[in-house]
Amino acid sequence: MQYIKLGNSGLEVSQICIGCMGFGDPAKGHPTWALGEEGSRPVIKHAIEEGINFFDTANLYSQGTSEEIIGKALKEFAKRENIVISTKLGAPMRSGPNSFGLSRKAIMTEIDHSLKRLGTDYIDLYQIHRADPFTPWEETLEALHDLVKMGKVRYLGASTMRAWQFAKALHIQKVNGWTRFISMQHNYNLVAREEENEMIPLCADEGIQTMIYSPLSRGMLARPWGEKTTRSEAEAGALNYFEATAAADEKIVEAIGKVAEERGVSRAEISLAWLYRNPVVAAPIVGALKTSHIDDAIKALSIELTNQEVHRLEAYYTPRVDVNVKNSDPKAIAKMAATVGIKIPVPTGSK
């Protein structure tokens, strides 16, 4: 396994991060395709045995049971000081006021809940799951800084927002002398490259590295076009933003298949190898549901694509609605708040 420093920090992480959304109790809601504790443990153990030390979860995943499963398994299979635990907050966790967002109250509440579920005294990388347009940045960022000073958190990260929002947050942290974000978790892959326009250049300039969620576009880049899986059937509605670019996406998937066949490797290996070419990318977040998913990610580390192969993979790319922007839109966040009984007036002019 290869390890790198995450962003402009001394934190050493494996170049593969295990995404833990699939480790949870499927009876608790999203995701319905989660493995449960018994199915999760062999995958987690295999990752550790292969030298992976980076695990990413969130309080939201299976209503906290993902954190519980990860905490128990890591305590059994590894030494805490060798593991980097990353979790997130910001999504609704219960009904009623103060159950949602990035207020000081919500942050101070959710950190303690996550620590209890994970069975640990501290979180290595604490990330805001979305920007919160309804709470002042100063309130959120000072509260996060206080968590670091309290010893409950070691480093801070962000996820899924517009580049201007992230730039504003970084500026506020800098001028106040508060702990700065060292990472950005965002959606980026061969069919979703919109982040190359602003977010990736911003991160490169600020010395921040990215953790890539959905590096295989929910598995679409790891299988022939049109092939269905349990997860793709369960999340059919979430894939609507692909419709406008389906023709181009199909050609990209075909190109991945041809390059993989010529090299005698899997489609997943080629897709991940393409991501590793970007120095801003610290680690793709591999949503491993099988040990073979981890093995493919490890093999991808040793693949160096030629310029000709890269050209073939990138030739048909067509811009789409940026899912990172879509998920951070005030209307979308207000709609999410409404699911737990919180009514938020959306500012005039919000798209």
Q: How confident is the model at residue 217 (pLDDT cuts 50, 70, 90)?
A: very high
Give the three-class secondary structure for 96. Answer: coil
* Residue 78, pLDDT above cutoff 60: yes
Please state the rounded mean pLDDT for residues 45-66.
Answer: 96
Q: How confident is the model at residue 227 (pLDDT cuts 50, 70, 90)?
A: confident
* Residue 241, pLDDT above cutoff 60: no
Pick the range with the lowest mean pLDDT from 83-92, 97-106, 322-331.
Answer: 322-331
* Residue 18, pLDDT above cutoff 50: yes
Q: What is residue 229's predicted lDDT score, i.e. its pLDDT? A: 66
Please state the rounded mean pLDDT for residues 107-129.
Answer: 97
Mean pLDDT rounded to a whole number for the chain: 91
Please state the rounded mean pLDDT for residues 31-60.
Answer: 95
Please state the rounded mean pLDDT for residues 172-198.
Answer: 96
Find, among 17, 15, 21, the residue nearest to 35 by Cα.
21
Q: What is residue 324's predicted lDDT score, i.e. its pLDDT? A: 67
Domains of the chain listed by start with CATH number: 3-338 (3.20.20.100)
Query: Whole-angstrom Cα distance, residue 297 to residue 132?
Result: 33
Please state the rounded mean pLDDT for residues 300-328.
Answer: 88
Query: Whole-angstrom Cα distance, residue 186 to residue 197?
Result: 13
Cross-strand partners of 211:
185, 283
Q: What is residue 350's predicted lDDT score, i.e. its pLDDT? A: 46
Question: 177 in the Ramachandran plot: left (φ > 0), alpha (ψ -120 to 50) or beta?
Answer: left
Please state the rounded mean pLDDT for residues 293-302.
Answer: 96
Q: pTM for the full model?
A: 0.92
224 — phi, psi (to 5°)? Answer: -60, 150
* Residue 237, pLDDT above cutoff 70: no
- 319 or 266, which is more confident: 266
Pairing of strands 12-14, 84-89: unpaired
Q: What is residue 348's predicted lDDT score, i.e. its pLDDT? A: 55
Handedness of CA 61, 64, 69, 72 (dihedral sign): positive
Q: What is residue 278's predicted lDDT score, i.e. its pLDDT? A: 94
Query: Whole-angstrom Cα distance, residue 137 to residue 171?
Result: 11
Q: Which amino acids are annotated catalytic?
A: 61
Handedness of CA 334, 338, 341, 347 (dihedral sign): positive
C-alpha separations of 213 from 134, 272, 280 in Å: 25, 12, 14
Percent pLDDT > 90 in the chain is: 77
Please state the rounded mean pLDDT for residues 111-138.
Answer: 96
Q: What is residue 336's predicted lDDT score, i.e. its pLDDT? A: 75
C-alpha separations of 206 from 5, 131, 199, 232 in Å: 15, 18, 11, 36
* Residue 267, pLDDT above cutoff 60: yes
